[in-house]
Copies of this chain bind each other. A is one copy, B any other.
Amino acid sequence: MLNFIDTVGEAVADIKDGSTVMIGGFGNAGQPFELIDALLDSGATDLTVVNNNAGQGDQGLALLIKEGRVRKMICSFPRQSDSWHFDTKFKAGEIELELVPQGNLAERIRAAGAGIGAFFTPTGYGTMLAEGKETRLLDGKWQVFETPIHADVALIKALKADRKGNLVYRKTARNFGPIMAAAAKHTIAQVSEIVPIGALDPENVVTPGIYVNSIVKVA
């Protein structure tokens, strides 16, 4: 069921402790900063967060980590020049890390949304990130068995939503939004604009409304 919600606070109010939360964005592009701030304010804790990174500087996901709300990160690139909050927690053994090659991260999220129970991928074969994983020779290449990443909630950012919940994005801010929307039980999208039904060309819809549960406009 699709709901249009007035504030980011109400939009994230039902996120429970212990949830797995996907957060869209690559770098700052497509990061739903306002929804992340609202999640921080909500007090939800013991979270597993799926994002490409593990927070940067003193904002957004970095603050969630600093405040001890994140039990586990699933990401491809936690270490950055300004990922000091993650670094501190990780070295103190206070946060769990599942490091996933970026393409496997994307494909595992896509598999969850598409109802694929598992897949074999050549990426990571023969590396420490595939240690202990089942492997198989397929199409002449050794491949690694990988499983979907499902989530309770996805927080994503899009450019526009229509009143059916259809979404379009902007440039490289699209990144993880469409696949996370499909992989989560409940998808919350912050958008810059809400347009009437019929204002988006059906040929150009990127995320069909079937994947979206809550929409909040952020100025």
Q: A residues engaging B (CB < 8 A)? A: 107, 111, 114-122, 136, 138-139, 141, 143, 147-148, 150, 168-171, 201-204
Least CB distance from A135 to B in Å reads 10
Q: Which of A120, A150, A202 has the most CB of B within 10 A?
A: A120
Given contacts A118-B143, A171-B202, 17 further A-B contacts (CB under 8 A): A107-B116, A111-B119, A116-B119, A116-B120, A117-B119, A117-B120, A117-B122, A117-B138, A118-B119, A118-B138, A119-B119, A139-B148, A139-B150, A168-B203, A169-B203, A170-B203, A204-B204
Partner of A203, one of B148, B202, B204: B204
Bound-complex Cα distance A168 to B201 (A): 13
Bound-complex Cα distance A201 to B171 (A): 11
Bound-complex Cα distance A118 to B147 (A): 12
B116–A118 CB distance below 8 A: no
Bound-complex Cα distance A204 to B169 (A): 10
Least CB distance from A11 to B in Å reads 25
Least CB distance from A102 to B in Å reads 14
Chain B residues near A139 (CB, 8 Å)?
117, 148, 150
Chain B residues near A201 (CB, 8 Å)?
204
Chain B residues near A143 (CB, 8 Å)?
117-118
Bound-complex Cα distance A39 to B143 (A): 36
Nearest B-chain residue to A170, judged by Cβ: B203
Bound-complex Cα distance A171 to B122 (A): 35
Q: Which of A121, A136, A147 has the most CB of B within 10 A?
A: A121
A136–B118 CB distance below 8 A: yes
Least CB distance from A120 to B in Å reads 4
User: Can you list 13 contacts pairing A with B, beta carbon distance less than 8 Å?
Assistant: A116-B119, A116-B120, A116-B121, A117-B120, A117-B138, A117-B139, A117-B143, A118-B136, A118-B143, A168-B203, A169-B203, A171-B203, A201-B204
